Amino acid sequence: MKHLKKQLQQGATLHGCWLNLGSAVTAEIVGLSGFDWVLLDLEHGAGTEKDVYHQLQALEHTPAAAIVRIESAQRQRIHRILDMGAEGIMCPRISNTAEAAAVASGLHYPPDGTRGVAKMVRATSFGQNFQNYYQQAKENIVGIVQIETIEVLDHLDEIAALDGIDVLFIGPADLTMALGIFGQFDHPLYLDAVKATVNAANKAGKATGILFFNAGEYARYSSMGIRMIACGADATFVADAARNMASTLQTLRSSGKTGMP
């Protein structure tokens, strides 16, 4: 474990990005690049659970803590990914307190939750480290729910107060879509929702997170009190670099600077 939860509890601002290619190679490259955490995306990413397993192995020796976004809050989905060795779980489209409570419960072993017990899994070094893992899991596992629906805005305080929910993570695209203002990130409805989320998290001593793709937005969200900040994804890093290189070469070719005598 890389103590992501402890850092959040101490008030740190932590930088991350998405991994949505399902590739262990890009996971390792990004993990070594200087991010505090990365998110392996099973909701919209190209990878499967099998790919997540290999990505977690690739990330093990990097400084980046590994969070996995699952597709639903089913208990079995949660503990299967935790058994693979993920440091935290993100669950999308949480709409009410009961759904958030189900996520929190699924993260932890009884008596604190409903996570199933298995010793021979990667998270426990295949049984060699079960007791230590069991004793430290609650203080290490990060629980993240996404704020993406209209309904959830009426339950922010209750959700933030739940033991086991550590981060309220705003999904700008889905949230603005739900509000009927898709992509309008300067709209008062969206900004009010962001402020309400930050206020609820702060009152409960929790953190707020967000994903964006333009680093120029950093100051805006940081100044609002958001501390778990993600910018970009492995797919966009590859795509942007490829387009930039192709454009540069085309410009050189057009200018006649081919290097030929």
Assess whether the previous peptide bond of 111 is cis (omega < 30° from 0): yes
Among 3, 15, 44, 79, the active-site one is 44
SS3 137: helix
Amino acid at 196: A
Burial 146-175 (b: 16+ CB within 10 A, else e): bbbbeebbebbebbbebebbbbbbbbbebb
- Cα 257 to Cα 260: distance, rounded to the nearest angstrom: 8
- Containing 106, the helix (H) or strand (E) segment is helix 97-107
Is 3 among the residues known to form the active site? no
Catalytic residue positions, numbered: 44
